[in-house]
Amino acid sequence: MTEIQGTCDDAFAPVRDTFAAAFDRGEERGASVVVTVDGRPVVDLWGGVATDDGDPWERDTIVNVWSTTKTMAALCVLMLADRGEVDLHAPVATYWPDFAAAGKEGVTVAQVMSHTAGLSGFAPAITPEDLYDWDGVVKGLAAQEPWWEPGSRSGYHAITQGYLQGEIVRQVTGRSIGTFFREEVAEPLGADVHIGLPASEDGRVADLVPPPGGGMEALAQADTDSIAVRTFLSCPLDTTETRTRAWRAAEIPAAGGTANARGVARVHSALACGGEVDGVRLLSEAGVERILEEQSETDDLVLGLKVRFGMGFGLMNESIPLSPSPRSFFWGGYGGSLAVTDLDRRMTVTYVMNKMSTGLAGDLRGASLVFAAYGALG
């Protein structure tokens, strides 16, 4: 039986029990879960094994969280919008003139935020090593034609979204998105989340265990021209790439963040509390409410299910009914990491792990923890 460490308010014992049960069933290797209410952690638990060598998952263990990073990148753009430096409904080319090429002069920031910009993959295809050349990637995206009519429907921008958002941030502020996030969000909050990880932190990073069946790598065997396959084959990623220093150091804002549940929860708790936690304000209350502005609800061309996107986050619908509250939002990462924020209950539930499942849209481990937290609230 895996020893579960940390703290848990008695009222939230169902979360602890659900977390422990996943280890007992062999579904986990190492993981952490945090629940906050009114900005205060009521659950902060971790357990299991972090590395192939058997090192334990510690309180400060961090891991690549894949697309949960997207919530941090979206927040950076929302902060600039809240300050009046970016108009979310203005064309991207307003801030990044080169982006107007190839028929993209009308593509808006909001369309980038909601995966409807038509740029879900790279054309021509690139390699993982190419991701480490920021200027090269954004130059290619600026020159690229959309794969479908922008704004007409969503197609999950698995890797490209972060570069699009990050270049908007860089054009407006003169800072990379990793630097902006660190200086404006992570450091003020004391949040252990990194878009671009210093080498000094490598010793804390857990080894990701690839999903059974090869995950996205298995798409290399697919014989189809679907948008989904084109998207993932436009930069084929082996999950072991996340173990390299090059990946960890790079700013890959849609997929390369390194964090634990506590760090992600710290950032999201500010959103849950109207934009401010412990005297650190990231957004005005109106700025937080913008997240709930529906941008699209279509059968997503990449994910293959109906997804409802707000401004930079997923919103609840019948396909992904994680929360009973219409004033809640979420996103998660390839393999299972998850972050849910409920404005009505001022609650966040965050889950991070290193044993990946095959799902691109999460799995029951994280969802079960969310349901347990809601059950504890009654």
CA–CA dist 226, 372 (Å, integer): 37
CA–CA dist 100, 92 (Å, integer): 8
Return the SS3 of 148. coil
CA–CA dist 121, 125 (Å, integer): 8
Q: What are phi and psi of 78, to 5 degrees?
A: -60, -35
Give the bridge partners for 108, in sequence order: 91
CA–CA dist 36, 20 (Å, integer): 19
Contact 240, 64 (CB under 8 A): no
In this structure, what token pair is assigned to residue 85? 């430096």
Element (H, E) at 33: strand 30-37
Find the catalytic residue in 32, 67, 114, 323. Answer: 67
CA–CA dist 6, 295 (Å, integer): 39
Q: Is residue 67 annotated as part of the catalytic site, yes or no?
A: yes
Choose among 291, 350, 290, 359: nearest CA to 319: 359
Quickly tell me which residue has 């009114």 as its tokens.
Answer: 38
Query: For residue 329, how far is the Cα from the chain centroid?
Result: 12
Choose among 143, 136, 157: nearest CA to 295: 157
Handedness of CA 247, 30, 217, 310 (dihedral sign): negative
Query: For residue 241, how far is the Cα from the chain centroid?
Result: 18
In this structure, what token pair is assigned to residue 76? 């950076």
| Active site positions, annotated | 67
